Structure 1
Amino acid sequence: MAKGMMIVDGQRVNFDGEKNVLSVIRKAGIEMPTFCYYSDLSVYGACRMCVVEDEKTGKIDASCSMEPRDGMRISTNSARLLKHRRVILELLLASHNCNCTTCEKSGHCRLQELAQQFGVRRIRFPDTREHYEIDSSSPAVLRDPNKCILCGDCVRVCEEMQGMGILNFAYRGSNLQVMPAFDRKLAETKCVSCGQCAAVCTTGAITVKNQIGEAWRAIHDPSKRVVIQIAPAVRVAVGEAFGFPAGENVLDRLVTALKLMGVDEVYDTTFGADFTTIAESEEFLERLKNGGPFPMFTSCCPAWVKYLENENPKYLKNISTCKSPMEMVGAIFRDKYAAKDAVDGRTTYHIAIMPCTAKKMEAARPEFIHDGRPDVDLVLTTHEVIDMMQETGIQLGELELESPDLPFGLGSGAAVIYGTSGGVAEAVVRHCLPDKSKNALREISILGLRGDAPIKEASVTIGDTELKLAVVNGLANAKKLLKEIDEGKKFYHLIEVMTCQGGCVGGAGQPYGLKKSKEKRGDGLHLSDNAAMFKRAERNPVVAQMMAEYGEERCHELLHVSYTNK
């Protein structure tokens, strides 16, 4: 990496290892406008918003694709550059569906933000665009080609982070579009519904499917009892929209807010995660006893399960038969509320608040539908719940604290960290290790399972067996690991896979945030784990009592599922 000094708008700026001039400019405290630059993806250099002027040669070039050189003198805001950016914005707006006030991305749209920043108040160019059909076939996201500005972020995140390549550029010149191959609908592809395309989309061209209307109808229906479960990653992200720092746990405020909105009962998905930990650990120990099959893959991430079904079905025998925490809670609620519904004549309507768009797809899977109704009636993302609170005028910071309702509101620290990469694997290790001391917990925490590295490896000894563990986030990284396993280069007993960067804290249903925000959310979950009343799933008294009451056969019926080649 280059090292040296350059002059940016007359200011001396040292650089050491920055990969491009754009990074050096930002280091100098100047926020350059971009559409197509995303630091975790390859450099594309298409939007030309980040262009700078070389003061020596007068040449204009994109700073994102320019390597810093010692002695460079550049300008970022000359009259020529400002005019250039305004014209780009006008041209983009001229070929854009500007129904901004009703757009799902309004207030979070990069095009809207930059048009306001650069004072673009009128568009001199005629609208010559064609109108394309909106693709609403996916259970998780909605694609509106009329709002696409061809920045390519969705194409690159799908290919580079997820290794899927569902979206790509098609046609040429003024007919250029981003779409699935052969103009298919998303539902006709092998899309896993991770929603990362929507998370990086700079406009409203790809958005998470909005189901707020369905939630309000249920809440306002007197014949329905609305019960909600809240996933671990939600509590450390929802506050960001109300001025709380990323990573601050606002679960107790969120419970109060939901009750004010008319929800009858609010529970914690960590309750279901404790069920998952115990069931998955027992399955893992049984595999150790019987010699496999290994590796055993975690099954909490529905996008990962969908990928195996679509692309690598030979590994379906390796995936844990445990349902995800959300679906375990769904099955338990279906069982527990049936008698109550019969007595009071109401219908229990179950909503799950999740950080994940793929959970919308999971809730609609036939395996989780019984007697014509899904175990989880509706999945709302963190973002949708934020919109609902803002619609009702709720100020989260002004609310009193209220804990989730009992008995389904109690979870362990091990359950809380399900929301961050490495959390599921760590919870299983905590349960399986015979040493239950505080010192053992500290040793587990430094095994190497934590953090947001793409692939993490660790080993731990149980009895006479040294267990090899891996934690992966991002499907592209998972595919890389599977290839090494296929080639005999790697062997593991347990592999945790999460599709999103950093785990569920980086889910596509979370508030739009950079990598730093995701890291802080993960840190917040670990702080909540530290403060938890008990750290291991088996210490949860409600879960222990219910498992004893159900018995082995009924537990297996409620908590397990099998997946097949799709």
Structure 2
Amino acid sequence: MELKKMIIDEREVFFEEGKTVLQVARENDIYIPSLCYHRKTGPAGRCRVCLVEVEGMRGLQTSCSLPAKEDMEVKTHTEEIIEAQKLFINLLLADGHHNCLSCEANGECELQQACYHLGIEVPAFQVDSLKEDYDDSGEMIRRDPNKCIHCGRCIDACNSVVVNEVLDFGYRGRDVKVICDNDLPMGDSQCVQCGECSQLCPVGAIIDKKSIGKGRTWELEKINTTCPYCGVGCQLTAYVDKKKNHIVKITGREVPPNDGMLCVKGRYGYEFVSHPDRLKYPMIKKDGKHVRVSWDEAIDYTAERIKTIIKRDGPDVFSAFGSGRITNESNYAIMKFTRAVIKTNNVDHCART
């Protein structure tokens, strides 16, 4: 596809037709504050923070919904833009309880990032008192309506990305809020607790309950890995407390094949890794009890037992069963070992069912 050219802040950038100004800016490492836009949910224009000036156009434009055009000249940091962005951010701060010190999103909050970028240290307007209590009824997710900025990302994620169609805006005017079904507690609604809304929330309004109080973002090591639950191979990031050797939370990586989405098991079913009953080393049963041994001793013992049984009863007394919870390479090794070493075709896999 032929690349088009435009100018952002007196810098030439190139783009493919069909992109918005915000997308082009992000692809070229030009920061424009934005709260309602996400690549997966598309342009919304609700937060009014991603404002830009365009040569030849009247007024400020929302860059998330503005198509990029050939030879367009865009400015992102004029005095008028910054003042308008500060106004909208201050209105959001006044309409909620945004206490960064105690918020689980501290360090990853996009509202916090925008405030830092614009130099907002103290809200310009009086902050409203708390409106509602937490919604803790969900098994895995906590909702805090007092931190909600009504960006609509969670609604778009629920309705358009995972298509569960549980979340929506309810009521009108000053009373508008995000509701589940017909304003039911999340735990009583049809929500399946997939956590997509939690991952896409730009602030701390929707968070994973299991990670509350377990560590700040900068204290945790991020490890990219593959979900162990099935053969799809969803990519995820594990946030790990290295001091305790414990997984604090899981988020989906926005790469194929899952593009950030995870099922409830993949996102929340990670505690087995640190379970006290998990086998962590090889053991051999001696005198009716399992005794810890070295890997060399365990492998030598297993090899001798296999040889003895094959010699006595033949190879077809053995069978091997692969698992969707291990890698394709490991399953291939199981198959090759069973057929080439044991000399039997008794090998199967759970994916066949």
Judge same fold: TM > 0.5, yes or no: yes
Q: 1:55 to 1:133 in 2, by over 3 A?
A: same
Match of 1:209 in 2: 209
The counterpart of 2:244, out of the listed 261, 264, 276, is: 261
Query: What is the CA-CA distance between 1:76 and the residue it aligns to?
Result: 0.9
Match of 2:115 in 1: 115
Match of 1:405 in 2: 281
**Equivalent position amino acid for 1:85 in 2:** Q
Indicate the structure with greater strand content. Answer: 2
| Residue 350 of structure 2 is aligned to residue 535 of structure 1 | no
Counterparts of 1:243 and 1:195, CA distance in 2: 18
Q: 1:166 to 1:2 in 2, by over 3 A?
A: farther
Contact 1:8–1:74 (8 Å) recurs in 2: yes
Match of 2:24 in 1: 24
Q: 1:91 to 1:8 in 2, by over 3 A?
A: same
5 Å-filtered alignment, 1:480-499, equals none
Counterparts of 1:257 and 1:65, CA distance in 2: 39
Counterparts of 1:111 and 1:51, CA distance in 2: 15
**Equivalent position amino acid for 1:406 in 2:** P
Give identity over the alignment, percent: 27
User: Scaled by the length of structure 1, what TM-score is found?
Assistant: 0.42
Query: What is the CA-CA distance between 1:139 and the residue it aligns to?
Result: 0.8
CA RMSD of aligned residues (A): 4.2
**Equivalent position amino acid for 1:535 in 2:** A
Counterparts of 1:84 and 1:257, CA distance in 2: 40
Contact 2:96–2:128 (8 Å) recurs in 1: no
Match of 2:267 in 1: 356
| Residue 201 of structure 2 is aligned to residue 178 of structure 1 | no
For these two proteins, the number of residue pairs brought into alignment is: 274
Q: 1:239 to 1:144 in 2, by over 3 A?
A: closer
1:340-385 Cα deviation digits (max 9, x unpaired): xxxxxxxxxxxxxx7513x3xxxxxxxxxxxxxxxxxxx6499xx9
Structure scoring higher RCO (CA < 8 A, sep ≥ 6) equals 1
| Residue 89 of structure 2 is aligned to residue 89 of structure 1 | yes
1:149-179 Cα deviation digits (max 9, x unpaired): 0111100010111111111101111111011
5 Å-filtered alignment, 1:213-228, equals none
Query: What is the CA-CA distance between 1:79 and the residue it aligns to?
Result: 0.9
Match of 2:149 in 1: 149
Match of 1:194 in 2: 194
Query: What is the CA-CA distance between 1:28 and the residue it aligns to?
Result: 3.1
**Equivalent position amino acid for 2:49 in 1:** M
1:116-167 Cα deviation digits (max 9, x unpaired): 2221012121123551121101111001100000111100010111111111
Q: 1:240 to 1:159 in 2, by over 3 A?
A: farther
1:313-344 Cα deviation digits (max 9, x unpaired): xxxxxxxxxxxxxxxxxxxxxxxxxxxxxxxx
1:385-438 Cα deviation digits (max 9, x unpaired): 9xxxxxxxxxxxxxxxxx94336xx9xxxxxxxxxxxxxxxxxxx979xxxxxx
User: Scaled by the length of structure 2, what TM-score is found?
Assistant: 0.65
Counterparts of 1:160 and 1:183, CA distance in 2: 20
Match of 2:68 in 1: 68
Q: 1:243 to 1:159 in 2, by over 3 A?
A: closer
Query: What is the CA-CA distance between 1:192 and the residue it aligns to?
Result: 0.7
Query: What is the CA-CA distance between 1:240 and the residue it aligns to?
Result: 11
Indicate the structure with greater helix content. Answer: 1
Counterparts of 2:77 and 2:281, CA distance in 1: 55
Counterparts of 2:5 and 2:187, CA distance in 1: 51
Counterparts of 1:533 and 1:163, CA distance in 2: 33
Match of 2:78 in 1: 78
- Structure 2, unpaired ranges of 5+: 228-237, 248-261, 284-294, 296-319, 339-349
Q: Secondary structure of 1:5's match?
A: strand
| Residue 221 of structure 2 is aligned to residue 242 of structure 1 | yes
